[in-house]
C-alpha cells in the first residue's frame, strides 16, 4: 500500500482508535481495582493514561518504517496505554491483568520487551507489551493499527520523562556525560523501587 494512502487510513480512524483506548482504560482500571483492592495494594497505587499518535507522528513513523528492510505491514504503538504503579513488585500483577484483558479484547501479543533489569542507553526502564488485533474491523480500525501497553513504576516514569526530553530526542547528539548521568539516576531510582517493595512487603 502507498504510504500516503496508509497515512490517510490511519488518520481517518483516529476517532475509532480513541474510542477503543478510552474503553480499554475503563476496563483495565476496573480489573486493576480488583487486584489492588486489599489494604496492601490500594487502588490509588496505580494510574492509567492513553495517547493516540497525531498526524505528524503518524507520518514520521511511516517514513522511518518505510526506510527499514522487511518492515512488515503493522504500525507499532498507534494506540498507546501507559500504566503507572507503585514499585517493581506490582508490575507482575499489572502484567497479568493486561494479558487477561488482551484476550477478552481480541488482541494478540506480538512482542514483550522488558528493559527493567537491562535498561536501554540512558537508563530507560519499563515493560512494553505490543499487541495486534485479531479483527481490527470490529472496532472500526484498519488492520495495520496496533496497541502498545507500557507498564512503569512512578519512579521509572519520572526518569522516562527526563531521558525522553534530554537524551532520546537528541539521539546521536546526546553527550556521553548526559547518558552516564541519566544511567546513574536510573540505577538509583531502581534501587529506591526495590526499597519501596521491601518496605511494603514488611508491612503487617
Question: SS3 of 2, please?
Answer: coil
Nearest CA-CA partner of 80 in 35, 118, 39, 126: 126
Interval 141-162 mean pLDDT = 94
Q: Are 95 and 127 in contact (CB under 8 A)?
A: yes
State the average pLDDT for the chain.
Answer: 86
The three cell numbers of residue 126 are 519499563
What pLDDT shows up at residue 67?
62
46 pLDDT higher than 90: no
Cα(139)–Cα(173) distance, rounded to whole angstroms?
Answer: 41
What pLDDT shows up at residue 70?
52
> What's the pLDDT tens digit per position in 91-145?
999 999 999 999 999 999 999 999 998 998 889 999 999 999 999 999 999 998 9
Q: Are 162 and 140 in contact (CB under 8 A)?
A: no
Residue 179, domain CATH? 3.30.460.10
> What's the pLDDT tens digit per position in 48-79?
999 999 888 888 877 776 665 555 567 778 99
Q: What is the span of the domain harbouring residue 177?
A: 3-201
Indicate the number of domains in the chain.
Answer: 1
Nearest CA-CA partner of 79 in 178, 181, 10, 173: 10
Cα(90)–Cα(97) distance, rounded to whole angstroms?
Answer: 11
Interval 145-165 mean pLDDT = 92
What pLDDT shows up at residue 170?
60
161 pLDDT higher than 50: yes
Cα(121)–Cα(112) distance, rounded to whole angstroms?
Answer: 18
Cα(10)–Cα(30) distance, rounded to whole angstroms?
Answer: 29
* Number of neighbours of residue 202 by Cβ within 10 angstroms: 7
Q: What is the pTM of this model?
A: 0.88
State percent of the chain over pLDDT 70.
86
Amino acid at each position: 500500500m502507498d504510504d500516503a494512502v496508509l497515512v490517510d487510513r490511519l488518520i481517518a480512524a483516529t476517532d475509532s482508535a480513541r474510542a477503543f483506548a478510552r474503553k480499554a482504560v475503563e476496563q483495565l482500571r476496573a480489573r486493576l481495582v480488583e487486584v489492588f483492592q486489599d489494604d496492601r495494594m490500594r487502588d490509588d497505587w496505580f494510574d492509567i493514561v492513553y495517547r493516540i499518535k497525531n498526524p505528524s507522528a503518524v507520518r514520521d513513523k511511516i517514513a522511518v518504517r518505510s526506510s527499514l528492510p522487511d518492515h512488515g505491514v503493522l504500525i507499532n504503538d498507534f494506540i498507546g496505554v501507559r500504566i503507572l504503579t507503585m514499585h517493581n513488585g506490582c508490575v507482575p500483577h499489572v502484567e497479568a491483568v493486561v494479558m487477561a484483558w488482551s484476550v477478552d479484547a481480541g488482541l494478540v501479543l506480538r512482542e514483550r520487551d522488558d528493559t527493567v533489569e537491562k535498561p536501554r542507553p540512558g537508563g530507560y526502564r519499563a515493560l512494553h507489551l505490543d499487541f495486534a488485533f485479531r479483527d481490527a474491523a470490529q472496532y472500526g480500525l484498519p488492520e495495520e493499527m496496533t496497541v502498545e501497553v507500557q507498564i512503569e513504576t512512578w519512579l521509572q516514569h519520572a526518569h522516562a520523562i527526563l531521558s525522553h526530553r534530554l537524551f532520546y530526542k537528541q539521539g546521536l547528539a546526546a553527550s556521553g556525560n548526559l547518558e552516564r548521568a541519566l544511567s546513574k539516576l536510573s540505577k538509583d531510582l531502581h534501587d529506591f523501587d526495590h526499597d519501596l517493595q521491601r518496605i511494603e512487603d514488611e508491612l503487617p
